[in-house]
Amino acid sequence: MAVGRNNFWALTCCIFLILLNVLSVSAHPSGDSTPDANNKAQLTAKEKQWLADHPTIRILIPDDVAGFSNLNEDGELEGFLVDYLKLIESRAGFKFEMVKHHYQEFVTGKLQKTVDVNIGTQQVDPLDQFQFTNVIFRIPLVIITRDDVPFVSGRHWLAGKRVAVLETFAPRKFLEEDPLGINVVPVASVKEGLYAVSFGQVDAMVNGLLLPTQIISSEHITNLKVAGQSGYPDYEGCLRIRRDWPELQSVINKALMSIKPEEHDQLMRRWIGGVVQQGVHWRSILQWGGLLGGGLLMLLIASVIWNRQLKRQVALRTRELEVAAQTLRESEERFRSTFEHAAAGMVHTSTQGTILRANDRFCSILGYPMDQIQGMHFRDLTHPDDREKNHDTFRQMCQGEIQHIQLQKRYLHRDGSIVWCNLSTTLLRDHQEQPLYFISVVEDITDRYQAQKQLHELNNKLQSVMDASTLALIVTTDDQGVIQLYNSGAQRMLGYTAEEVVGKQTPVLFHLEEEIKTKAAKLTQQLGREIKGFEVFAAQAEFGSYDENQWTLVHKDGSHVLVNLGVTAICDEHGQVTGFLGVAQDITERVKAKQDLAQKEENLRITLNSIGDAVIATDSDGNVVQMNPVAEKLTGWQADKALGRKLTDVFHIINAKSRQVMPNPVEKVLESGEIVGLANHTILVSADQTEYQIADSGAPIRNDAGQIIGVVLVFRDVTTEYAMEARIRETEKMQAIGQLAGGIAHDFNNMLGGILGSAELLEDRLPRDAETHELFEIVKQSARRAADLTNKLLAFSRKQPKEISVLDVHQILKDTVAILKQTIDRRIEINCDFKATSKLIHGDATQLHNAFLNLGINASHAMPNGGKIQITTDVIDLTPEHGPKNIFDLKAGQYIQISVQDSGTGIAPEHLNHIFEPFFTTKELGKGTGLGLATVFSSVKQHQGSITACSEPGSGTRFTICLPLATAEQSDETADVVSQRVHGQGHIFIVDDEKVMRVTAKAILEDLGYEVSLAEDGQIALDRFRENPDAFDLVVLDMMMPNLNGKDCFLAMKQIRPDIKVILSTGYTPESELLAMKAAGLTAWIKKPYMSGPLSQKIQEVLEQVD
């Protein structure tokens, strides 16, 4: 029964609404009436002039809302809005350019910046961004539900429901702010929302009446209906106009005021009425009609129940009223809070102009306290020049001529200053349309106004600058490239006057066509759309606000001008591009100078890369700015990594002797301003620590004004040259020492020969007691030691001929060790470790014996308190892979390596490189000749070997000798050494300029059984030989003699008697001369000083030779 009673009352209400709808439709006649075309809007002269200056006014309207604005079969726009706009055009005397777009694009607002006028509403659109006309239409907001929803009582029915609303639809905020707690579901389109209702995804949709009914019909959605009014305010549509066109707002409002209400209603009935009827479901009406009939039958029964339900309905209504009252209180509280805390000033003014209420922001804008400003008349706060105009405007609003105003107004601050404000005012009316009071929103724009004023002044100054500028081209165009401004600098640069170019397109006049095409093709690829003509300048500037490129301009006389052209987009306050500013500077000479400089730099680069010297250039701060490949190689730095670094980072130089860092040459050049050179012994240490001996010079780099702007360093690697010079000096020194040593040895050998020979003869002839024998041994031993020293000098000077044979290195070392153990400090321990498996070499036993002996003696001198000497041998194999630059600087092959290590005091590092130099010694005067190691070095080199030394002070010294091992053929040779005296017979001719040698030799040979003749120089000997050449069996000939030397005497004797046998006795004859004399017939030679044994053996050997 309860359900039946509810259905009854629902049915009764529905029938009542239907009857009201039918009555309302029938109340408006459908016949057409012709609008009054003569009722023109009364425009001022200024407004008419403004329309003449703006012939094109673009308005955006939808083309797919049936009855409102849609395309007909001919593709033309028709509908209420179209006819209403035409009516406005006829009354105001201008034409709209209608821009058609689909409704979905229309409501998103994406296209609003492309037009001047749009459809909008003051209910939600931002008032500070647009101007609005009076209302031109109202669309009721309705609720759309499914057919199975029995009854919708209005807005309260939406409580807790899921309701679809267009996300871009202005009244959306009504539902979101409704305290009923509606679950708002935003949708992208009306169609999407309707289908959501149809499929049960939402309970209902709230939208304007027009479009849903059209879509329901066109999409054949049969289960939907327009359930009733939403209860929210109607959508009040008006024209939304650009903020900077207040004149157009005034013109359109005047046109609207000229349109009579019946004319407006006629258009509504013609276009909108039919659409509203499309939303009526006759099937539903019939169904409800049947139910009504049944309901009437039950009316009597229901009346009985009515009284019982009345109390319950009264209680329910009371609760609803309480909810409504609470909602009203909350709404009033929200309004009060919004009013009081708004960021803009808000004020309520009576129709007589008295301020009824104001918020704190309005008071702060004008500087008045709240209690003082309330009750003041608006004229007291208005600038005198604006009072009359403001009064007329408010009067028009009260008379209904104007619904809403937006204007700039000058208020008077309490301190007397002027406050510029944006004023937006609406007149609030009661339900009988009687004026109540004005509601105004006031925004303080004083700072903005002052800024605009300053900008205007700045623009005037800029115009003056542009007119005065003669060096820069300044051109402004509209958004299509039509020139609007052309300064004197442009006239000077291009030859055209302003009269010739203003109003014409820039690319046509003074740009190369090919350059335009090339730039256009490049931009087309970058931006993904075709770019042509003026767009090559505007495209990038439009997106990036500024674009700069190099262009070639064509002068009026046909010549070309290279410029840097910067293009800036000029935008209005809405961000819309209205034109472009181009500023260009002539860079023809700069480009030419740059090209010339680039060519010079290229020539310099080629030159620097071609020369053999290294070159580094720096700036005045010592930073590297350029370097050539040779400099890269020597410094170890790549140019790209060195540029910008300090020279001292790249060019690291030290003194070769002290190893100290040398002064920065750049600083020396900058201080002196002159060319400077590096000191001798300068070493460049590269990045990989390779060291190069360099020769260097630095010179200042000066600009045209003579100022030093940098330094150039030129240097080259002279490491090889220094080494060659050092070798030459060493060779010259050795030659000088050799000549000295040879001269000393010649005379000394003669004296030693006499001593040794006489000692041997006396030893044989005097009594052989022990004391005498010991004395003779002392004499002979001293003489032999003196002879050894002479032989060392001769070996060092390479004057002594070598006696080469196959030698056992281990045996020589054993003999040396035996001597050392008898002669050096007994506290020194000598140990041998012979690891070498091959020990035979090809060399001179005496030289090697002396070399090893010298090393041992030097080692003992380094250990005054005793120590150890370790002698080690081993075989090393230097393969070809080691090359000529192995650590021993030897050819490839097998070598025996002899190491002599002591535990002595060591050698100081500064002395280590000089120990093999002749006469270099660190010993006290009288304790060393300085020839020991020099002789060792010479002997080793003569055996094609090497000697190296390494030492650490306090830890001892190690000498390493490498000698080439004998080949298989050389190993088969044997040496037969005999030291006994040999008797013989024959006539021996002794020729020597030293008497002691002649007398000694004569006594030795006669004692051995020979007949001996003597001559004191070569000339005397030759004369005697010429007298009787066959009288002599053999000639012992000295090499160095006055008047006629041994060589010339020998050659002369050979001419006289070719078969004469000659032994050359020498202490100073180069080996090359000996070989030459041997080729001429020299039989043999013997070293001075000679003893009786070797002399007798050599004579016997020669005499026994068969010619």
Instruction: Tell me what pLDDT residue 831 has.
Output: 94
Over the stretch 1013-1060, which tens digit does the pLDDT of each residue have? 999 999 999 999 999 999 999 999 988 888 898 899 999 999 999 999
* In the chain, % of residues over pLDDT 70: 79
Residue 982 falls within a domain, yes or no? no
Asked if residue 133 and residue 30 are part of one domain, the reply reads yes
Instruction: Tell me what pLDDT residue 275 has.
Output: 38
Residue 1081 falls within a domain, yes or no? yes
Distance, CA of 356 to CA of 493 (rounded, Å): 66
DSSP strands (E only) in 480-557: 483-486, 546-554
> Quick one: pLDDT band at residue 105, thresholds 50, 70, 90?
low
Residue with tokens 């020991």: 932
Over the stretch 201-233, which tens digit does the pLDDT of each residue have? 889 999 887 778 778 877 778 888 888 888 888
Distance, CA of 894 to CA of 842 (rounded, Å): 13
Upstream peptide bond of 179 is cis (omega within 30 degrees of 0): no
Distance, CA of 683 to CA of 622 (rounded, Å): 20
Asked if residue 574 and residue 470 are part of one domain, the reply reads yes
Instruction: Tell me what pLDDT residue 759 has.
Output: 72
Residue 264 falls within a domain, yes or no? yes
Q: What is the DSSP letter of 944?
A: T
Work out whether strand 624-627 and strand 614-619 pair parallel, antiparallel, or are unpaired: antiparallel
Instruction: State residue 944 phi and psi, 5-degree precision.
Output: 55, 35
711 and 670 in contact (C-beta within 8 Å)? yes
924 and 935 in contact (C-beta within 8 Å)? no
Instruction: Tell me what pLDDT residue 833 has.
Output: 93
1060 and 1052 in contact (C-beta within 8 Å)? no
Residues 6+ apart with CB under 8 A from 64: 70, 71, 102, 103
Distance, CA of 711 to CA of 618 (rounded, Å): 5
Residues in the chain: 1107
Q: Is the CA virtual torsion 109, 114, 120, 122 positive or negative?
A: positive
Asked if residue 1024 and residue 920 are part of one domain, the reply reads no
Asked if residue 96 and residue 68 are part of one domain, the reply reads yes
Helices (H), 219-258: 246-257
Distance, CA of 977 to CA of 807 (rounded, Å): 12
Residue 294's Cβ-count burial label (10 Å; 0-12, 13-18, 19+) is exposed
Q: Is the pLDDT of residue 469 over 70?
A: no
Q: Write the Ramachandran bin of 231: left for phi over 0, alpha for psi from -120 to 50, otherwise beta.
A: left
Average pLDDT over residues 179-198: 87
Amino acid at 451: A
Work out whether strand 141-146 and strand 130-132 pair parallel, antiparallel, or are unpaired: unpaired
CATH of residue 61: 3.40.190.10
The angle that helices 1046-1056 and 1071-1079 make with each other, rounded to 10 degrees, is: 0
Instruction: Tell me what pLDDT residue 449 has.
Output: 87
DSSP strands (E only) in 664-747: 676-677, 682-685, 691-702, 708-717
Residue 1065 falls within a domain, yes or no? yes
Asked if residue 940 and residue 862 are part of one domain, the reply reads yes
Residue 1048 falls within a domain, yes or no? yes
Residue with tokens 């309005």: 362
Could you tell me the pTM of the whole model?
A: 0.34
Highest average pLDDT, of 7-21, 425-439, 750-764, 853-867, comes from: 853-867
Instruction: Tell me what pLDDT residue 311 has.
Output: 62
Instruction: Tell me what pLDDT residue 692 has.
Output: 87
Average pLDDT over residues 1054-1068: 87
Instruction: Tell me what pLDDT residue 926 has.
Output: 41
More confident residue, 150 or 813: 813
Distance, CA of 641 to CA of 616 (rounded, Å): 13
DSSP 380-424: HHB-HHHHHHHHHHHHHHHTTS-SEEEEEEEEE-TTS-EEEEEEE
Q: Write the Ramachandran bin of 200: left for phi over 0, alpha for psi from -120 to 50, otherwise beta.
A: left
Asked if residue 248 and residue 103 are part of one domain, the reply reads yes
More confident residue, 1044 or 581: 1044
Distance, CA of 689 to CA of 895 (rounded, Å): 32
Residues 6+ apart with CB under 8 A from 46: 247
Asked if residue 1008 and residue 963 are part of one domain, the reply reads no
Asked if residue 807 and residue 899 are part of one domain, the reply reads yes
Asked if residue 247 and residue 107 are part of one domain, the reply reads yes
Residue 85's Cβ-count burial label (10 Å; 0-12, 13-18, 19+) is buried
Residue 899 falls within a domain, yes or no? yes
> Quick one: pLDDT band at residue 38, thresholds 50, 70, 90?
low
Over the stretch 600-622, which tens digit does the pLDDT of each residue have? 777 777 777 777 788 999 998 88
Residue 751 falls within a domain, yes or no? no
Over the stretch 314-344, which tens digit does the pLDDT of each residue have? 666 666 666 666 665 665 566 677 677 777 8
More confident residue, 122 or 494: 494
Q: Which residues are registered as beta bridge partners of 619? A: 710
Instruction: Tell me what pLDDT residue 975 has.
Output: 40
Answer with the one of 688, 717, 746 that is the final residue of a domain: 717
Answer with the one of 280, 304, 328 that is the final residue of a domain: 304
Q: Which residues are registered as beta bridge partners of 950? A: 958
CATH of residue 611: 3.30.450.20
Distance, CA of 694 to CA of 717 (rounded, Å): 5
Closest CA to 1039 of 1048, 1031, 1030: 1048
Q: Is the CA virtual torsion 920, 921, 925, 929 positive or negative?
A: negative
Residue 838 falls within a domain, yes or no? yes
Separation of CA 895 from chain center = 57
541 and 568 in contact (C-beta within 8 Å)? yes
Structure tokens belonging to residue 778: 């002392």
Asked if residue 492 and residue 459 are part of one domain, the reply reads yes
Q: Is the pLDDT of residue 785 over 70?
A: no
CATH of residue 817: 3.30.565.10
Residue 848's Cβ-count burial label (10 Å; 0-12, 13-18, 19+) is buried
Asked if residue 277 and residue 241 are part of one domain, the reply reads yes
Domain count for the chain, please give it: 7
Helices (H), 186-278: 190-198, 210-218, 246-257, 261-278
Residues 6+ apart with CB under 8 A from 1107: 1059
Asked if residue 604 and residue 569 are part of one domain, the reply reads no
More confident residue, 855 or 472: 855
14 and 7 in contact (C-beta within 8 Å)? no
Distance, CA of 352 to CA of 371 (rounded, Å): 19
Distance, CA of 242 to CA of 249 (rounded, Å): 9
Distance, CA of 904 to CA of 848 (rounded, Å): 23
Distance, CA of 113 to CA of 118 (rounded, Å): 10
145 and 227 in contact (C-beta within 8 Å)? yes
> Quick one: pLDDT band at residue 7, thresholds 50, 70, 90?
very low
647-651, 770-774, 790-794, 914-918: least confidently modelled range: 790-794
Answer with the one of 556, 586, 616 that is the final residue of a domain: 586
Work out whether strand 1011-1015 and strand 987-991 pair parallel, antiparallel, or are unpaired: parallel
Structure tokens belonging to residue 628: 């050539």
DSSP 867-899: EEEEEEEEEEEE-GGG-TTSTT---SEEEEEEE
Q: Buried (b) or exposed (e) across 918-937, using 16+ Cβ within 10 A?
A: beebeeeeeebeebbbbbbb
Structure tokens belonging to residue 563: 């410029």
More confident residue, 934 or 836: 836
Amino acid at 98: M
Range of the domain at 32: 14-137+236-304
Separation of CA 90 from chain center = 67
CA distances from 659 to 656, 907, 909 (A): 6, 19, 13
